[in-house]
Structure 1
């Protein structure tokens, strides 16, 4: 539902105004008693907009002032249908700032306010997805009466799921996918589904010549410029890990015997420690070499990008190996004293590897959500098949 923008943009010509075209009512958003007096004195102040097109209701909604929002809506519910210069209505402003109670208040008392769209034809769900506001996304997904927003399309044909995939927020993608009404097969004006955007593939029906015309190969020289200034912290991390693992090889847990051999050399855990430490050292040295080549202007642009990607991959591997070596070392030292404590420390330390990238939790949630949707769809298809087979039998 698209409404015209604020028709009171020039109202400040008729009322005394302060900075940026604001009136006393804009300033009285946090003073309800004063606001009530101003509304009784001049009711039209409620529709007066500042230079950004914002009415007092916009201010109250963004500030989360529920009492002021109720006061203004009681005065005139049509205030909820006035957009600012950017096409944002009060319900959009409240959603952007995460004011769930205000959004709920506006939707309850202002019919169709949930269907209002901005200048880019984006509805409430589009806007909160764009601003990564998960509480409002959760609120919308859990309200059955807001199901009409799930597959809404903006001026580019993108649904909220398209936008969530574009911004790369796996938590919001998971929330949307949990809603069974979300259609993941909708094609935008570029001919892409959310899956196409996430994979970079061309899964939708499209002519190959059109695809080649619209998606040219990225200029390698421009792409290479991004890697000229490499991440120095990555290089420092690799060098530090190499130093630590090198030192650990000569300060073995348990010490040495009189003949100079390691005291714990016969244990399987000791052998695993040596392997993990050696791998961490090797990976850290390779990562240091490759990240150095990745930042060198003497190396071909194509290879610079390759070296940087490889060095970052090795940085993750060397960190995991170092964590494993630390856990094994702790177990070797504590096992003779308390085997149970050694196991607990070893397991908990090793478990930290699962959290080395925060996205893993979101990926697991998203995978579970997608799998559950597939099972529901398969069950639905099976029930339909049984129904039609039963009809044929009769």
Structure 2
């Protein structure tokens, strides 16, 4: 072995004559490569008047005396060019570019000494493809440089999320921001899967709504405010049926998808025409055991009813008996989600309703049972209720 393994410096052999020649050759190599600083790395031909000690990195497709020496370190020593093939990991400072480079397999690449840009940053933890900036610390500070400071969260468009997510053991517990659309939202979760909107601020008006309600600070009890229906809808009829302690019933003539047709003229007995677009009423098939229910949302011109979901009546047959009174609870259930969607643009769990029965007075009904087919609460009437009711307002 007559050379060192890394820099290829010549060894002095035993009993070698003129040892100083070999020694000086090694010293020249060290002088050329240690603390490597080159003038440039773009020249493809050697300069015409090099000075002793000048060093270059031969450029691509080099010619002349540098032919075939691409990417090698060319040093002008003792009136001749000496070439040093680089190895992976060699560093060099390029004077003309003011850049620090490293040799990687076949090319010299700039070494980024700053963080603008870098693909990821981990502070006391490991960053990954999703969390490209990761910090593990008991606190963090975003300070001002001048008078103020803004934290900006940008998204591609209104269909994407721009939010702050608060976690516990890496499960979501609360989130705030524009998760979809342009409205600002605050939502909460107990398990990281099911979420509830606590506040929604309309982006166009700035009006804030609280879908989950507001609790009294002292009692913790939910507070409700009366929301009057728009003046443009004075006849919001949500109940127009003749109730009876002995519930009226009718037999089915046909079941076609979501349309039920009766043998007798019974549709108006179950669903008043004024309720169209305002309410749904629960109907019961008492032929089935146990009794099965569906939600009528419309009366038809065919002495029939349209239900909200055809799957609910898929097993119903001709001659089955239908009534609107719950055979077990002896009451009538009404869902007002169509009215909410039409007049407010949203369906929510109301705490109660204020109803008018015309000359028969007004009634306030508490609503606590959640509808199985929408996000609103049901309005429950007595089985013998025969008054018609229009909505004045609701509590929520």
Is this a same-fold pair by TM over 0.5?
A: no
Provide the TM-score with structure 2 as the length reference.
0.22
Look at both structures and tell me which one has the larger radius of gyration over its CA atoms: 2
Higher helix content, 1 or 2: 1
Provide the TM-score with structure 1 as the length reference.
0.22
